[in-house]
Structure 1
């Protein structure tokens, strides 16, 4: 096993950082690592907004649900689906790109491009001894987040990424069993085997929480998911996205 794979397998979310900002050199290197990710047909349909202003970081921390580590981290990156520049491409080249830019397919390309870039940055950051945490809570109130970041039409802030010097060392959280998510040739839907795998994972997760909290928690994964998914979240999203000129056809 090489050091890159060891870094990936040792991933954990960090929610407490030392009071030490990233250097401009570190920021530039992380962005370059993100840009080296694969991108569909070289479309490069994403942008990254680095937030240094303390007031903006505090506002984004509040909008993300009071996640204080958004404001108290080495640097805060926001990854955006971005087809604004491609609208400008159409203007420069005298081409009407509206149908493509408003398609679900190009919206998916933008989301996938942004996710790939972010994961490249995450692996790079962890290889440098830094810690990271993805912040999906920005989607709690994207209109307000967009106002803070001044994102134009065809640009959607998707998630944030805190990057900094770790001030904690949590255990690695167990993932689903290998055989439950890796199939060969076709998807396996055999009901009993499928549920047995989930039950095995429930036991692993419950033991993880029991040990981590000294017996105060013993959550199961299926219980967590059922509770969360019983309360639909961010149901304004389709209207907001389409209002930004994306995913309209």
Structure 2
């Protein structure tokens, strides 16, 4: 085994099937064994143990942790090495409060010592194009905007894993898209920069226990060779029961997942102004042909 491989695999333990089985049971709310045992890796453990953290200690995030997380973010794949994303750190309480007003005054934004705003950023590429005397026509199409959003998401998820491996907690904040124009103004974003989502970061409050939220069965989302379409009458009763058990443990309102999702997508009002994103994107300078 190479040195690099030995760094990744914990060979001092048994194959680790018990630990992985426990993590999988938490993730799915039921037994989910692997087809064969594998060595435990800290990366897999960190990913399977992910949970959103909404209660934080009043303790700042070390600068080194932020630096490592951003480097991890920059290690994510990026289409054609365009690196069409940026990230902006917000720590000032007054600015966080104004951003939080857009996001619906969420407790995690108020408590977290650090808010990272992840950006689809075509402005840097536009500047390069102008400097090179190029028309930059490729930036005017939906593909480029979509590319920037994907790049930002990939980068952010790498950062989340890095933060969690260092003992920090995070929570994505999609509600920044309730009013992208207001966020752009607050952060002095140039044209062709779009706030995709926020990310709160901080040390979890140990007095508030947050369990891993169960997901749909693996077989529901995993297809082989071709997509197998499910009927409108697909039975989600088992998952509804699992999620209700989680809600009871977390002292959350009891509601079936299917009902909750139906409400979330039922009307444009349920989108909380995000039905206006297409006009916001154009207002912020994107062409979107």
Q: TM-score range by the shorter chain?
A: over 0.9
2:260 is aligned with 1:224: yes
Residues 81-160 of structure 1 aligned to structure 2 (within 5 Å) = 81-97=120-136, 99-160=137-198
Query: How far apart are 1:201 and its partner, in Å?
Result: 1.4
1:92-125: per-residue Cα shift (whole Å, max 9, x none)? 111000x311211111110000000000000000
Q: CA deviation at 1:72?
A: 2.2
Kept in 2: contact 1:61–1:69 (CA 8 A): no
Is residue 173 of structure 1 aligned with residue 209 of structure 2? no
Between the aligned partners of 2:97 and 2:175, the Cα distance in structure 1 is: 14
**1:11 corresponds to which of 38, 50, 66:** 50
Q: Name the structure 2 match of 1:26.
A: 65
What residue in structure 1 maps to residue 250 of structure 2? 212
CA contact (8 A) 2:181 2:284 kept: no
CA distance 1:21–1:226, shift in 2 (3 Å): same
CA distance in 2, matches of 1:190, 1:139: 31
CA displacement, residues 9-59 of structure 1 (integer Å, 9 cap, x when unaligned): 111110010001112222111111111111001010000000122211111
Query: Aligned Cα RMSD in Å?
Result: 1.5
- Checking the alignment, whether the CA contact within 8 Å between 2:121 and 2:193 is kept in structure 1 is yes
1:136–1:190 CA distance, 2 compared to 1 (3 A)? closer
User: Residue 46 of structure 1 corresponds to which residue in structure 2?
Assistant: 85
- DSSP 3-state at the match of 2:170: strand
Q: Which residue of 1 aligns with 2:113?
A: 74
Say whether residues 1:237 and 2:273 are aligned partners. Answer: no
Q: 1:60 — aligned with what?
A: 99
Contact 2:129 2:135 in 1 (8 A): yes
1:15–1:69: 8 Å Cα contact kept in structure 2?
Answer: yes
- Structure 2 distance, partners of 1:31, 1:16, is 23
Partner secondary structure for residue 213 of structure 2: coil
Q: Number of residue pairs matched?
A: 244
Instruction: Give ranges in structure 1 of 5+ residues lacking alignment.
Output: none
SS of aligned partner of 1:71: helix
CA distance in 1, matches of 2:118, 2:287: 18
Report the CA distance between 1:218 and its aligned residue.
2.5
Match of 1:191 among 206, 231, 249: 231
In the superposition, relative to structure 1, how do residues 244 and 202 fare at CA in structure 2: closer, same or farther (>3 Å)?
same
